Chain A
């Protein structure tokens, strides 16, 4: 009757365990020894059959004989194999004594493969395991959005330029750069009278903003020190900016050595007042001592 089974299921009609691919047929039956769909490997079409399967790390030998064919519940007999590889092979041999060579051989091969992958599992669990953290799309989008807005709010170039100028002013660079300050001073003393009222109004605004921001902007210290210096140079700074604006527009065409075009002083009209950023004073102190 196994022949009949094979003739119907195996070759001609439909077998639900069979998977056909271009080159080969596979058998999905869990008791299949090799995994292929063959006359000799089909557990349905062989009344005497054996497999090795593992459950929770232990290997079992399953056997099916023709005597138990009418009792499906007792069809597969299960034998626990020992953990020792050689002993287990001997157990397979003694259980499958007088069985066809093919099944014995394939059982042992399958058992070998199973033990090998069990060893591998045990080794891998000891190593570091990669923890996969899922990305949450909503949160990713939110973070990205916030980052873009923070970038715009940061105005990095301005901040960096400001910081560098601060350091220049505080003489951290020493003698490397020498710019003529005095020439400007003389030129601007003429314009003092005009800019007096303007500077007064500015100071009022500055004070208001200082008190508002005193909560969390600790750069107010440097702000104040700036303004003390700026008493003399403030007028000069405005004048300088105006002068430089004119010079800039002329010189904007001649780009020097391919540097990035300057972020215009046009943007920096009243920039000195709105100092929002705090700077870490430590590095400057250290570099000063250098």
Chain B
């Protein structure tokens, strides 16, 4: 056994000249070679070998499938992260009565029963800079019945009672860092849950490649995709409660919150039905992605609040196939 003849330093390229002389012990792996050059070379050779084998296997399989014709076994479904996702036990079953009962009695029940009309207050952290200001304006055109107020150093805890007094149902605070918005706090006002998101890839309207006009005043529809777990459900309901309940289909506008692997993508489109099976969409409006950082039971209170869910990096980011929304 052993690594081969001592003169192996000379044979950089021409190893296969006499391969039968070199016998490796069966438990040998390429990573055990200490010499980097040689290890690299052996690794490349091993890789080529693997590739060849894979190609041969694929060809064989294809031939078999052709030979069998109709009776061939169906093609295997490729594994995606969504396929391999770790099953979350809080996934909501649509027929779950407990969930339905909870939803009938939680903070959003008045909204879903049409008792309250959403009225949104959008504000920022102190001293917002250009991009954030423009983003706030565009966001207020997207969400109907929303108002933008600038915060000149006022404490959130003092704003909240004032907002409740003036009948606002939701509060959005956009946090800014180095002139770009990077955080979003969404708080349902009369005592509702507060969600804190990290916001990324914000595109203002002029940066989106499209040729559409501005969003009109019509109430848009809402699409919420992929909110499967209990937590996702509550977050989804929070988003739904931002928009008035009766969309005006004449406006043909739709706001989408699409959850994919714990990232919530927001898009705002105008659609048109070209035929029964064909729809064209055109993106207006800003776009951004959110990632939930924490969900708190009451209104915004960082010290004494009761947190329903916090993203704990050490525990929750360990598996690539585990998602929480």
Q: Which residues of A contact B (CB under 8 A)?
A: 127-128, 130, 139, 143-144, 146-147, 149-151, 153-154, 156-157, 159-161, 163-165, 167-168, 173-174, 176-177, 179, 181, 184, 204-205, 208-209, 212-213, 215-218, 221, 237, 240-241, 244, 258-260, 262, 265, 276-283, 286-287, 290
Contact = CB atoms under 8 A, between A and B. Distances in A.
Contact of B82 (A184, A259, A276): A276
B276 A168 contact: yes
A281 B277 contact: no
A261 B153 CA distance: 46
Contacts of A217: 228
Contacts of B112: 282, 286
Contact of A160 (B126, B254, B289): B254
Contacts of A280: 223-225, 227, 236, 240
Contacts of A168: 273, 276, 279
B269 interface: yes
Interface stretch (B5-13, B73-81, B161-169, B185-193): B73-81
7 contacts: A146-B261, A147-B263, A150-B265, A161-B271, A244-B277, A259-B272, A290-B246
A161 B281 contact: yes
Given A160-B281, A165-B279, A280-B224, 11 more contacts: A139-B313, A143-B200, A163-B225, A163-B256, A165-B277, A168-B276, A176-B250, A177-B273, A260-B283, A265-B278, A283-B240
B260 interface: yes
Interface in B79-123: 80-83, 85, 87-88, 91-94, 112
A279 B283 CA distance: 21
Contacts of A208: 74
Contacts of B260: 150-151, 153-154
Nearest to B237: A282
Contacts of B218: none
Contacts of A184: 276
A128 B224 contact: no
B249 interface: yes
Contact of A128 (B91, B155, B211, B261): B155
Contacts of A204: 74
B258 A156 contact: yes
Given A153-B260, A218-B93, A179 B267 contact: no
B210 interface: yes
A163 B94 contact: no
Contacts of B224: 279-280, 283
Contacts of B201: 147
Contact of B211 (A153, A160, A240, A258): A258
A263 to B, nearest CB: 9
A136 B261 CA distance: 21
Contacts of B153: 127
Given A151-B260, A151-B265, A260 B210 contact: yes
A160 B256 contact: yes
| Residue of A144, A154, A277 contacting most chain B CB atoms (<10 Å) | A154
Contacts of A130: 126
B280 interface: yes
A111 to B, nearest CB: 30
B94 A150 contact: no
A241 B278 CA distance: 9
A258 B273 CA distance: 15
Contacts of A279: 223-225
Contacts of A218: 91-94, 228
| Residue of A139, A262, A265 contacting most chain B CB atoms (<10 Å) | A262
B275 interface: yes
Shortest 9 CB-CB distances between A and B: which pairs? A280-B224, A179-B276, A154-B260, A150-B261, A258-B211, A150-B260, A150-B263, A164-B279, A290-B246
